[in-house]
Amino acid sequence: MSVREQIMASLMEALGTVDGVQLVERNRTSRLPDGLTPALVMFDGDLDGATDRPHAANRNLTFPMTAEAEIYGYVEASDANVGAARDELFSATVKAVWTHMPLRQLLAANDGGLSMDGAAFPPPASAPDTAAAIFVMRLRLPYVFDPKNP
Q: Give the Cα separation of 138 and 72 in Å (integer).
A: 9
Q: Spell out the per-residue pLDDT of the chain, length 150, in tens.
A: 999 999 999 999 999 999 999 999 999 999 988 889 999 999 999 999 876 666 666 666 788 899 999 999 999 999 899 999 999 999 999 999 999 999 999 999 999 999 999 999 999 887 677 889 999 999 999 998 888 777
- Show the domains of the chain with their CATH numbers: 3-49+62-145 (3.30.70.1700)
pTM, two decimal places: 0.90
How much is the pLDDT for 37? 93
How big, in percent rounded to 5, are the helix, strand and coil portions of the chain? 25, 35, 40
User: Sign of torsion, CA 119 124 125 130?
Assistant: positive
pLDDT tens, residue by residue, 40-49: 999 999 999 8
DSSP single-letter state for residue 134: E
pLDDT tens, residue by residue, 106-133: 999 999 999 999 999 999 887 677 889 9
Q: Which residues contact 78 (CB under 8 A, 6 or more apart)?
A: 130, 131
